[in-house]
Amino acid sequence: MIRTYTLLILFLLTSACLKAQNLREKIAYNACEQLDSIQKVKVLNDSIIRNSITHALARVMTEGTAEEKKIICTVTGIRQLLKETFEVMPSACYPVRRFLVEKKRTEFYKFSDNEKANLHFDAGNDFLKSQNYKKAIKAFKSAIKLDKSFVYAIDHLAVAYRRQMNFKKAIKYYKQSLSIFPEGDVALLNIAVSYTFLMDNNKALECYNQLMFLYPNEAEGYFGSAKIRFRNSDYSKALDHLFIAHSIYADTHSDYIKDSTKLFEIMYVQLKEENKLDLVKAKAKEHNVQINVE
């Protein structure tokens, strides 16, 4: 009997937590819709984000279900819900995610406040250009020793190791960069490439997925994902992501469109051999991409 009561209590607590979680996400999505509707807002800030959450909460309080209203019937409940909703906004709302990423990019993608560190960094770049990787590595390490949060120097140190084909060391320093700036697109892209060279497709795909999530309007995450998924015979997703990357390259007049065209040609030959051209046609139509399929 005691076990039955214990299970019942656990079920009720879990149910209440799930309802609160669902309500938090509902408010977040409502707040995001409001941010999208504010056309004049060109630059977000914490105040605008918090105001959108407050308005979304008020809307749920008036239009929500009885159960939802019960969760937010106290001042403590409202404060807790506002706090939790603000925390999930980056994952639920792209404009907020973009705002926070750009805010952190400004903070970390810059030269060091330590001038000596900058001198070592500049020297490292000169050595990197002349392909003197040993001296470049030494210079970048000297810069990092003076400024342990110098993301530019850490990324370039990883680049030097990568050009030496020392992918394990490159990954070590890209991880160090990401521990400081987890949303860094330079480190995310290059660590994915390094994992690809080591044939670690799963970890490479994790990084490409993160790039697509953080930078949905940029092609690199989609293109990298397409290559890995094609290698894994996940043809449907591979085509999805390749066509998205190709469209972005076309819209931005990027020279990398040659790469997406080449990858498509490789995919086309493989899928033709496997009698899966119907999938190619369907995906091309879905993404409004014109192709000539025999």
Q: What is the structure's pLDDT at 92?
A: 86
Q: What is the structure's pLDDT at 63?
A: 76
Of 154, 186, 209, which residue constitutes the final position of a domain? Answer: 209
Q: Are residues 36 and 118 in the same domain?
A: no
Q: What is the structure's pLDDT at 42?
A: 56
* The total number of structural domains that make up the chain: 3
Q: Which residue has the tokens 């990357």?
A: 245
Alpha-carbon gap, residue 281 to 235, rounded angstroms:
12
- Domain at 185, CATH number: 1.25.40.10
Q: Are residues 192 and 158 in the same domain?
A: yes
Q: What is the mean pLDDT of the chain?
A: 87
pLDDT band at 221 (very low <50, low <70, confident <90, very high): very high
Higher pLDDT, 5 or 118: 118
What Cα–Cα distance (Å) separates residue 106 from each residue in 119, 183, 186, 269?
Answer: 21, 12, 14, 44
Instruction: For 21-32, write each residue's pLDDT tens digit.
Output: 578 888 888 888
Query: Is the per-residue pLDDT at 128 higher than 60?
Result: yes
Q: Are residues 81 and 96 in the same domain?
A: yes
Query: Is the per-residue pLDDT at 39 higher than 70?
Result: no
Query: Is the per-residue pLDDT at 40 higher than 80?
Result: no
Q: Are residues 7 and 53 in the same domain?
A: yes
Q: Are residues 115 and 202 in the same domain?
A: yes
Q: What is the pTM of this model?
A: 0.81
Of 106, 138, 161, which residue constitutes the final position of a domain? Answer: 106
Domain hosting 279: range is 217-294
The candidate with the shortest Cα–Cα distance to 153, out of 180, 191, 183, is: 180
Instruction: For 155-173, write each residue's pLDDT tens digit.
Output: 999 999 999 999 999 999 9
Work out the percent of the chain whose per-residue pLDDT is above 90.
63
Q: What is the structure's pLDDT at 9?
A: 31
Q: Are residues 82 and 126 in the same domain?
A: no
Q: Are residues 84 and 32 in the same domain?
A: yes
Alpha-carbon gap, residue 186 to 94, rounded angstroms:
20
